[in-house]
Amino acid sequence: MSENSILARLRRRAAPPRGSEVVLGIGDDCALFRPRRRDLDLVFTTDMLIEDVHFLRETHSAADIGWKTLARGLSDIAAMGAQPQFCLVSLALARDLDERWIDRFFGGLLRLARRYQTVLAGGDLARAAKVSCDIVVCGAVPKGTALLRSGARPGDHIYVSGVLGGSALGLETRSGRALKRHLRPEPRVRLGRFLREELGATAAMDLSDGLSIDLQRLCAASGASAEINAPLPVFPGATLDQALHGGEDYELLFTLP
């Protein structure tokens, strides 16, 4: 299957809906976005998912990989309290992968994209020895209201949005709900908006590397220190170690006054 025919098929599957601010999607040198409201800030994230580093092709289906590629980007958008607008994906395909694999990859990605009204607006295709997937997501948020890592103040309370360690447990046991957490993380897009609009969160970030590293980063950005004196919310069956250092939970870490 040639690059041209893959693109032609994707163009049909991912056509921007009528009235979309993405006025030109897949097929030209660039995608074209026409912001309708002037009182918005645009936020951008990029995130790479690489074979044999972040996933194995033997254990992760094409649809899982497509889903997770986008989920990691959406999780960053959620952490800003923003609403996803569109994404672009750069995909390096291993030479032995066929049309069916590519179809399923984009099937997984587009399923999650639809859930959060994210238009697949473009990208790049290449062939390489290993699969790698880089996602770019653009989100929008009312001017000056994005949730930053740097907004936490001494005296704020620290929260996480769910239970931690599930992804690491799933990677180890390869079964049950924990495995689903690992393969198909759910980006906390609605919660991110709720934190910004309703709860007045002072800072937020997503938990991709693990609470132990990410809380340090939030503290460093905010010029504050943290104390944990309540038991951690641990995924059923996960160890404290997995909850602290496992990473890839894609829950939100945030602070409230």
Q: Catalog residues that contact a copy of itself under the rule CB under 8 A.
A: 4, 23-24, 27-35, 38, 41-48, 50, 52-54, 76-77, 79-80, 82, 88-90, 92, 121-124, 126-130, 132, 134, 136, 138-139, 143, 146, 148-150, 204-206, 217, 221
Cβ nearer to a copy of itself, comparing 150 with 175:
150
Shortest Å, Cβ 3 to a copy of itself: 9
User: Which residues are 164's β-sheet partners?
Assistant: 234
Q: Are 57 and 104 in contact (CB under 8 A)?
A: no
Shortest Å, Cβ 37 to a copy of itself: 9
H helical segments located in 98-200: 99-115, 166-173, 176-183, 189-194
- Tell me how far apart the alpha carbons of residues 199 and 195 are, in angstroms, rounded to a whole number: 5
Shortest Å, Cβ 172 to a copy of itself: 21
Cβ nearer to a copy of itself, comparing 171 with 207:
207
Structure tokens that stand for 193 in this block = 């908006």
Q: β-pairing, 252-256 with 203-206? A: antiparallel
Cβ nearer to a copy of itself, comparing 80 with 171:
80
Residue type, 98: D
Q: β-pairing, 119-128 with 83-94? A: parallel
User: Which residues are 206's β-sheet partners?
Assistant: 252
Shortest Å, Cβ 118 to a copy of itself: 14
Cβ nearer to a copy of itself, comparing 238 with 254:
254
Taking Cα atoms as reference points, which of 147, 112, 143, 137 lies closest to residue 33?
137
Cβ nearer to a copy of itself, comparing 23 with 240:
23
Shortest Å, Cβ 54 to a copy of itself: 8
